[in-house]
Amino acid sequence: MFKTILIANRGEIACRVMKTARRLGIRTVAVHSDADRNALHVEMADEAVAIGPAPASQSYLSVERILEACRVTGAEAVHPGYGFLSENAAFARALDAAGIVFIGPPAAAIEAMGDKIESKRFADRAGVSTVPGHLGVIADAEEALRIAGEIGYPVMIKASAGGGGKGMRIARSPREVADGLQLARSEARSSFGDDRVFIEKFIEEPRHIEIQVLADKHGNVLHLLERECSIQRRNQKVIEEAPSAFLDQHTRAAMGAQAVALARAVGYESAGTVEFIVDRDRNFYFLEMNTRLQVEHPVTELVTGIDLVEQMIRIAAGEPLTIRQQEVMPRGWAIEARVYAEDPYRNFLPSIGRLTHYRPPAERRENGVTVRNDTGVYEGAEISMFYDPMIAKLCTHAPTRDAATDAMADALDAFTLDGIRHNIPFLSALVGHPRWREGRLSTAFIAEEYPDGFQGVAASEEQDHTFVLIAAAIEIEERRRRNGMRDRLAPAGPLRQKWTVALGRRPFPILVEDAGNGTLKVAVDGAAPVEVAAGWRPGERIWRGRIGGADVVAQVARRGTIVEITRRGRTVAARLLNPTVGDLAQIMPEKAPPDTSRVLLCPMPGLVVSIAVAEGQTVEPGEALATVEAMKMENILRAEREVVVKAIRARPGESLAVDSVIMEFE
Ligand code: ADP
Ligand code: ADP
Ligand code: MG
């Protein structure tokens, strides 16, 4: 076994790998850029080496600097994590040449699977079912149109070098082919420096289900069942689970067998993932093989009890697999939610800044429920613009899918962070969605359920009552503490009071009774009284209590006379009022939003790529006005109605802040 390994990555995955290495008694070396000098992975490692400035191209992607770091620290092996150099065959070869072990597959397997066109050809030959399409590079729009016509619409135009959901566009009709080709290409060029694209059939409403494989250097190959990753936004995974609610034994076994066959055919070693899309009739098609540890590997670890990083290290050290296929059994259900520094209310704009407050739910294993949180940050850490905006991967595991979902909803409710915008409300909305509960998923889920973006979770009567009960309990506890001295001297008589709790502008009359032992009986809006008890103290961010016999978690923040309560993806501003004031709350005027119909605003911070119109021009609805690049995606901004361009305020090449005016209309 190795004595020292170097982790050529940052963030949560570097920390994750170190955890296992440490458990195996292996010394760990971190590498870091200047921006990561104080990062968690640096702190966790036994030794750390600075490898260059913040941009990844000059640090985490520098093969030379990482080799040098291995030399000075005597690292015998390198774990690449995911992203960065993890699927870079030249890196694996360079390590090999330097006599250092790459904790991953052979370079030849990375190469064979690294290119989508090549890997599809390879899979096809290995007897794996692939998405129908054309296995060649598309030369121009004319050829694209011809091939799309042959395949039949809708089609997907895809970058051969693609990854991370980038460089792919759907064309539903010939009209969309030229635009789609151009966008897929230019995105591929800017993200991967390679603009080759191909075309395949777009499978309607598919599910993304992938098979985890493990292979050693002795010819043993097995699979560790499936993960379902159908909850995606722009082809990027947001929530994953294992097992999949959709697979039957027969399909599972068939997919597993094909994944193993493909791994054998490429001479695979280490952990890898074979991704499939599965249509409504459970026909499955190979998408690609990821020759690395996958972001969502924790759900597999939770249901199989197998530490994938440990297996990768043992395999790299030459040990044979000791697990047998028939021993791999799923136990319970696991869910992972990716917590990102992005604002769900503003089209998921990445958010950067200091995490002034960071308290994830406690990792624990209790009553059959496990909570795991893989993270690379800490309170006070900086989320920089240089890297991926992922903050943490929150996972829960329980005996059933329902119980794992409940645990996830609670864990998200107990996750508090400030200083940056984050997607926790959106994650809460997703796991609280009836379609998630029913397991009626597809990769189109988010686009279908949130067609105009995320506007927050809609109010429901039941949820409102829960908010009212929490607000009442908080207010009464605060009042009691303020009057603490007096209470102790002369115990207050039984409390029985009429109040009003306003949630925003809506008043809820309540009747509160003190039931003793710190329990209140609260009747909302004339309904039957409900018992509310909590150990909450003023100032605490998390309110944990029992309402009508059920455990309830919520986040609370005091803002003057208002208490802000967050739960299940919704935040309400609550106030305790006397009844007459409560009636007034609903007649307070609301501020009208500004009129933005006469301007084109930049919907995200981005770079103006081009302006498609001239001043004085009349533009039809749907016509392109400008193209803005943000997060390596090109976005065409179109006219929503017929407009006449009055003035153009932005120039190509200009970087704009969100809501900057690009042009004005008459
Ligand atoms: P998967 O197929 O494993 O789910 P994704 O494509 O969703 O992977 O995400 C992998 C991407 O994560 C990489 O392509 C890269 O952009 C990004 N990434 C790389 N390194 C890190 C890191 N240390 N922390 C967070 N994200 C990273
Ligand atoms: P990446 O390398 O970016 O992960 P993939 O080929 O794995 O690219 O595709 C990512 C996601 O895009 C899939 O999970 C799926 O949701 C969607 N997708 C890709 N190809 C197709 C297709 N032919 N039909 C329908 N959806 C697809
Ligand atoms: Mg993929």
Ligand closest to 299 (CA) is 1
The pTM (predicted TM-score) of the whole model is 0.86
CATH topology of domain 461-585: Glycoprotein, Type 4 Pilin (3.30.700)
Q: Helix 107-114 to helix 89-97 angle, to the nearest 10 degrees?
A: 170
Tokens, residue 269: 């070693």
DSSP classification of residue 190:
H
Given this model, what pLDDT does residue 487 score?
46
User: What dotted CATH number matches 4-103?
Assistant: 3.40.50.20
| Measured distance CA(217)–CA(106) in Å, rounded | 10
Ligand 1 first shell, C-beta below 6 A = 9-13, 81-84, 163-164, 236-237, 290, 294-296, 388, 390
**Which of 443, 445, 631 is the pocket-test mutation for ligand 2 (most atoms within 8 Å of CB)?**
443
Query: Shortest CA distance to 242 belongs to which of 262, 223, 222?
Result: 223
Chain-centre distance of CA 454, in angstroms?
Answer: 15
User: What dotted CATH number matches 135-201?
Assistant: 3.30.1490.20
240, 302 contact by CB (below 8 A):
no
Options 3.30.470.20, 3.40.630.30, 3.40.50.10860, 3.90.550.10; CATH of 209-229+250-449: 3.30.470.20
419, 356 contact by CB (below 8 A):
yes
Outline where 74-226 has alpha helix (H).
Answer: 89-97, 107-114, 116-125, 141-151, 177-192
Ordered mean pLDDT values, 10 residues apiece, the chain (666 residues)? 98 98 98 96 98 95 98 98 96 98 98 94 94 93 96 96 90 95 93 93 96 98 98 95 97 97 97 97 96 98 98 98 96 98 92 94 96 97 90 98 98 96 97 97 96 91 95 88 54 66 91 87 94 92 96 93 94 84 59 72 84 93 85 76 92 86 93
CA 386–ligand 1 middle distance (angstroms): 13
| Measured distance CA(336)–CA(339) in Å, rounded | 9
135-201 matches 461-585 in fold: no
Given this model, what pLDDT does residue 495 score?
63
Given this model, what pLDDT does residue 402 score?
98
For ligand 1, atom 12, name the residue with the nearest CA: 83
CA 202–ligand 3 middle distance (angstroms): 15
Given this model, what pLDDT does residue 491 score?
39
Catalytic residues: 288
Q: What one-letter code names the amino acid at 67?
A: L
| Measured distance CA(64)–CA(437) in Å, rounded | 49
| Measured distance CA(210)–CA(286) in Å, rounded | 9
| Measured distance CA(232)–CA(531) in Å, rounded | 40
CA 447–ligand 2 middle distance (angstroms): 15
Domain-wise residue ranges, the chain: 4-103, 135-201, 209-229+250-449, 461-585, 599-665
CA 363–ligand 2 middle distance (angstroms): 32
For ligand 1, atom 14, name the residue with the nearest CA: 83
CATH class label, 599-665: mainly beta
For ligand 1, atom 11, name the residue with the nearest CA: 83
**Which of 168, 210, 280, 446 is the pocket-test mutation for ligand 2 (most atoms within 8 Å of CB)?**
168
Q: Helix 11-23 to helix 308-316 angle, to the nearest 10 degrees?
A: 70
- Where are any strands of DSSP class E within 249-389? 270-278, 284-290, 333-340, 342-343, 349-350, 353-354, 357-359, 364-366, 369-375, 382-383
Question: From the alpha carbon of 156, which atom of ligand 2 is closest?
Answer: 23
